[in-house]
Chains A and B, each alone.
Chain A
């Protein structure tokens, strides 16, 4: 936490300065002294350049190499988000590898920042789970190409040809609401009504967080705009704010449970997870608004400087395996191999049936549309909601 207050001036003694300096010196020394590569029989160089399980000599050899490393550093994976809690614990139990989960609430850009700041140490993240824009921007510099065994199942257009980043799961933008406090919203525009006064929260700042960005896109679709016209979404939120309905609070499970945020615009997988978590306490329901279905995939990538390169690759194999994909599905996220698994009958149909209903074709914004929308948001958002 950065120092928040300026302290009243005090005379600093040379002794204090010297102590501070030597402390810094010590820190630098320890930082440099940390061994960048894990010791053990496995050669990090080979694992770090492997682009498929074949390069290890098959999946079993990959498992062995990963177990020798024994550790995996993940970042920005909240346990209540897309079922990552279960994903991590299942991976740990299955392979006996310790997963170190850092800053679960960090943003995608912070994942990259963490990789840069910790580069060369054994605390750097091994794998990333990133929003589209961040994945694209860092493909050349930060990611190691790797193709999982189920590569062919992943639809074209959702994977980088070299395998540097691959879509893992998506969700639809939804409205979660406390059914005891507010009536069911039938469309996004209903939220402008008196029933929702001071009650509608958006998960984050849309110039900051992908979920909030897609929330504005959803509002744009509902407000006679389109994927090319995010301004309609900004207008909607401005109207919402002027009506006194918009809550500038970042919703969390705690704010939902305490009733501080009775309506939350967020991915359907987080909202649906809340329904389960709050059963018996809060009657939390989810709607994916009709005709305004926005989808946005997240992307997996392996850190090119991963301190545990084999474990990182094993994590990818696990995430894209039937088991891993069904774990996403159990957390209400729609896995990228869903169609292929449905055909192969390996999909957990019970979990698929629990997904929130969505009517209409999902809209996935293209790169150009996202860029154009960002320009509008950067300029207009702060003024619209304050």
Chain B
């Protein structure tokens, strides 16, 4: 019961406000007008870019994070405990996975921004111009790079337990039956890890899709992704009365995240069965 109250206050109520706002016309009656506006080219393109950005960074994060957690999970610690490498990496990942937002954006601006120290160092010492191809840091390529800095650590944290679930005996059984490393990954570890991997991938997708502060600190023109367009709709001092469009955009995000999270829940159920 307290849990239901928690969900009601923090999840159901805001979602209800968003949905009713999205489906209400300017005169207060039911209308699909705002949703129709959102399917216009500018907003639709933003949804496209948001999904693309989330997919790409989730993929990079999932693969990179999986490799990283595999590397630390197989490394034996001295005296049977956790290896020092593993303790360091998990501690760092725990911090970095939450290091999104303005701090991360400014860390990048100070390092590889137009006057960042690395940019200047490369230019002055090696003659390499990081920005020869345009101002990529302040656009989608920059967002991809920056998002990876919290996606890979997050993957490491959520995927490590699944790797730990692999029993040493399975590999030994495979070997004693004459199986190769390929057989082991193809027929044993792969199928066991697949649902966990896919689930983590979806989590990363949702994580990137709903990220706001990092992008807001980095990108100030055009609002290429949906969260930035919602900000534009709410704060513009030039084009007014767009709050309802913000609701409609948020409604679109709720739908996308709901789909992703349902898939995630389904997958979690499968993984749980294997890793009991």
Contacts and interface: CB of A to CB of B under 8 A. Distances in A.
Given A21-B9, A247-B135, A249-B114, A1 B42 contact: no
B9 A24 contact: yes
Interface stretch (B16-24, B96-104, B167-175, B179-187): B96-104
Nearest to A1: B213
Contact of B222 (A18, A198, A248, A258): A248
Interface in B23-67: 41-42, 45-46
B128 to A, nearest CB: 15
Nearest to B261: A6
B6 A109 contact: no
Contact of A107 (B115, B219, B237): B237
Interface in A187-233: 198, 202, 204-210, 213
Contact of A8 (B2, B154, B220): B154
B36 to A, nearest CB: 15
A109 B235 contact: yes
B195 interface: no
A207 B239 contact: yes
Contacts of B206: 6
A274 to B, nearest CB: 16
Interface string B78-102: 0000000000000000000110111
B97 A14 contact: no
Interface string B232-257: 10111111110000000000000000
B221 A385 contact: yes
Contacts of B178: none
Given A21-B9, A258-B115, A378 B42 contact: yes
Given A260-B113, A382-B222, A109 B240 contact: yes
Contacts of B73: none
A4 B135 contact: no
A379 to B, nearest CB: 6
Interface in B113-166: 113-115, 131, 134-135, 138-140, 150, 154, 157-158
Interface in A262-282: none
Contacts of A364: none
A374 B158 CA distance: 45
Contact of B100 (A5, A108, A130, A250): A5
A241 to B, nearest CB: 9
A4 B6 contact: no
Interface string A21-60: 1001000000000000000000000000000000000000
A344 interface: no
B240 A260 contact: no
Given A14-B2, A258-B115, A8 B236 contact: no
A17 B5 contact: yes
A306 interface: no
Given A377-B239, A385-B221, A17 B6 contact: yes
A382 B42 contact: yes
A14 B3 CA distance: 6
Give the contact-size bracket for chain B.
35 or more
A131 B6 contact: no
B211 interface: yes
A21 B2 contact: yes
B6 A205 contact: no
A2 B212 contact: yes
A366 to B, nearest CB: 15
Given A1-B101, A4-B214, A133-B240, A198 B114 contact: yes
A113 interface: yes
Interface in B201-223: 203, 206-207, 210-214, 219-223
B238 A5 contact: no
Contacts of A205: 220-223, 232
A206 B221 CA distance: 8
B139 A207 contact: no
A8 B158 contact: yes
A378 B232 CA distance: 10
Contacts of B240: 109, 133-134, 137
Interface string A356-386: 0000000000000010001001110111011
Nearest to B204: A6
A244 interface: yes
Contact of A382 (B97, B134, B214, B224): B224
B237 A209 contact: yes
A384 to B, nearest CB: 8
Contact of B235 (A206, A208, A259): A208
A8 B90 CA distance: 14
A206 to B, nearest CB: 7
Given A198-B135, A205-B222, A383-B42, A6 B236 contact: no
Nearest to B222: A382
A21 B213 contact: no
B214 A381 contact: no
B104 to A, nearest CB: 9
Contacts of B157: 8
Contact of B237 (A20, A134, A383): A134
A94 interface: no
A266 to B, nearest CB: 13
Given A5-B98, A248-B138, A386-B139, A107 B236 contact: yes
A110 B235 contact: yes
A167 to B, nearest CB: 16
16 contacts: A1-B213, A2-B212, A4-B213, A4-B214, A5-B97, A5-B154, A12-B6, A17-B5, A18-B2, A20-B10, A109-B234, A110-B237, A131-B238, A248-B139, A370-B238, A383-B42
Given A207-B232, A258-B115, 18 more contacts: A5-B150, A5-B207, A12-B6, A16-B6, A17-B5, A21-B9, A109-B237, A113-B235, A131-B238, A133-B239, A205-B232, A207-B236, A207-B238, A247-B114, A247-B135, A248-B221, A377-B239, A386-B221
Closest 7 CB pairs of A and B: A108-B237, A17-B6, A382-B222, A250-B220, A4-B100, A248-B221, A17-B2
